[in-house]
Chains A and B, each alone.
Chain A
Amino acid sequence: MNEKERNQRYNAYVSAKMTKTKPWPSLFHAFWVGGLICCLGELIKDLCLYISPELSTQTASTWSLIALIVLAALLTGLGIFDRIGAYAGAGTIIPITGFSNSIASPAVEFKREGLVFGLMAKMFIIAGPVIVTGVVASIIVGLVYLFI
């Protein structure tokens, strides 16, 4: 048995040996927490429209996103968000709260390395790729629409 074969066999053996956790509970956790966060967003949007009916739906929903972002950042600072995240997984990552947490958590973590190279520079270690992808993809889509 050569080395490559042995390694392949070993890795196959390891994957088989890994205890398979039941996915269903975690799917359910992600479902209800994620759904609830979206409902919270809807509620904030409705409240905005209720308070000032002259707002457009677009503006109200931007305000609700901002509110969720601030709330998630605050919970991150208080050390609560990661506990919800450990329970809900994608249920807190996929909503805009996950984006906010991905900016606030390195800010909190790396502040010890100073304001500039710590807090500010490290803020985007996770959110950076998201913004880069979004900008590049939106420009490509915009160009396609412009020239077609």
Chain B
Amino acid sequence: MNRLGRQTIVFKNKPRVVGSYTVVGPKEGRGNFAKFFDKILEDDLFGEKSYEAAESKMLKFAITEAIKNANIDKTQIDALFAGDLMNQIISSSFAARKLEIPYFGLFGACSTMAESLIMGSCYVDGGFARYAACATGSHFSSAEKQFRYPLELGTQRPPTSQWTVTGTGCTILGNDDSAGIFVECATIGKVVDWDVTDANNMGAAMAPAAMSTLKAHFEDTGRTADDYDLILTGDLGKLGSEILMDLMEYNGYKLGSNYNDCGQMIFNNTQKTFMGGSGCGCGASILNSYVYSRMNKGMLKNVLFIATGALMSTLSSQQGNSIPAIAHAVSIKFGGK
């Protein structure tokens, strides 16, 4: 069995990252990672009639460009794993309808980047696919419409709120020895709910899930935080990542300067996003640009990417339910055969 402990799976054949691509909106393009993103849109409608259609187009664009980046033909992609935040994951499925690639639609809310990477790695590692595409994305305006209020409603954003990232990212995995980055192992998260009901405080709702997965990862593999150059959570935001550090310390693991959070990093302080970024596109756009490029330059060798997702809907929130959350961890390494 390619397993370690209760929750961790090991990829013996080292599925490799052979290509990647990111598309982000204008606000993200003015943030801290502008020089790493592959494409920055000037208009986040991307020539479409609605923000939902734009999100879908951004996803399709990221997938097709990532395939080009990997220098392969789309007929060589044997499986596409994609998901997003829209109801019935329309952005992903609509993006997939013209791609003609066997498709799995995933829903893991903002954890989808890790979820798709894990599924893609399993597929490639098990020899079920020569190449697999793993993609996800989100759009600020479509998410606001679905989860919050009309854009033009004059309300104040609560100080614990986060800003949904307009961005999509795609990773192409394959068994190509020439590529340096590979997925080594992954820890699948359990659904964790510590009874947080405030939908404007996602970081607090998701931090226990991140803690649970991180702890399971350390227990299953026998590693500590020091074994990684970078431990990167998806979109806990400023408050959420502080909570995670506290929770880990409480459990006897110290997260030091090698820990960071995509949501906390992506925007700069002048962009008025309160706790930072969130959404599927937050982790996806940072992983597929900044992280891979740093790894290819040898500046990062061992990275643990933990994407966290809040699994509630507007209905469940209105009915007073607490927010269940999930986190998946993927260990990504550079070098070696």
Please pick, from B50, B150, B157, the residue contacting A108 in the complex, using a CB distance under 8 A: B150
Residue of A nearest to B242 (CB): A17
Restricting to A1-53, which residues have a CB under 8 Å from any CB of B?
Answer: 6-8, 10-11, 13-14, 17-19, 21, 26
A102 to B243, CA, bound (A): 36
Taking A7-B195, A10-B195, A14-B201 as contacts, is the C-beta distance between A89 and B150 under 8 angstroms? Answer: no
| Residues of chain B in range 186-229 having any CB-CB distance to chain A below 8 Å | 194-196, 201, 204, 208
A110 & B150 in contact (Cβ 8 Å cutoff): yes
Segment among A54-62, A63-71, A75-83, A133-141 that sits at the interface with chain B: A75-83
Determine whether the beta carbon of A104 is less than 8 Å from that of B154: no
Q: How far is the CA of A26 from the CA of B156 in the complex (A)?
A: 10
Find B149's partner among A77, A81, A104, A105 (CB 8 Å cutoff): A105
A residues in contact with B159, CB < 8 Å: 18-19, 21
> Which of A7, A98, A105 touches B150 (beta carbons < 8 Å)?
A105
A126–B154 contact, CB under 8 A? no
| Residue B332 is within 8 A (CB to CB) of chain A in the complex | no
Whether A86 and B154, one on each chain, are in contact in the complex, defined by CB atoms closer than 8 angstroms, is: yes
Summed over the interface, the residue pairs from A and B with CB atoms below 8 Å come to a total of 83
The complex places the Cα of A6 from the Cα of B159 at a distance, in Å, of 25
Mark out the residues of chain B between 142 and 160 whose CB falls within 8 Å of any chain A CB in the assembled complex.
Answer: 145, 149-157, 159-160
Chain B residues with CB below 8 A from A18, complex form: 159-160, 201, 239
Residue numbers in A under 8 Å from B157 (CB-CB): 86
By size class, the interface of chain B is 20 to 34
Q: A14-B201, A14-B243, A86-B157 are in contact. Are A104 and B195 (CB under 8 A)?
A: no
Q: Which residue of B has the minimal Cβ distance to A112?
A: B50
The residue from A76, A88, A93, A98 contacting B152, defined by CB atoms under 8 A apart: A76
Q: How large is the interface on A (under 10, 10 to 19, 20 to 34, 35 or more residues)?
A: 35 or more
Please state if A109 and B194 are interface contacts (CB–CB under 8 Å).
no
Please determine whether A109 and B150 come into contact, CB atoms closer than 8 angstroms: yes
Give bound CA distance, A42 to B279, whole Å.
45
A18-B160, A112-B50 known; 17 other A-B pairs, CB under 8 Å? Answer: A7-B194, A7-B195, A13-B246, A14-B196, A17-B204, A17-B246, A81-B152, A82-B151, A83-B154, A85-B154, A86-B155, A89-B156, A105-B152, A106-B150, A108-B151, A109-B150, A109-B151
Question: Which A residues are within 8 Å of any B CB, using their own CB?
Answer: 6-8, 10-11, 13-14, 17-19, 21, 26, 76-77, 79, 81-86, 88-89, 92-93, 98, 101-102, 104-106, 108-110, 112, 126
Binding site for A on B (CB under 8 A): 49-50, 145, 149-157, 159-160, 194-196, 201, 204, 208, 239, 242-243, 246
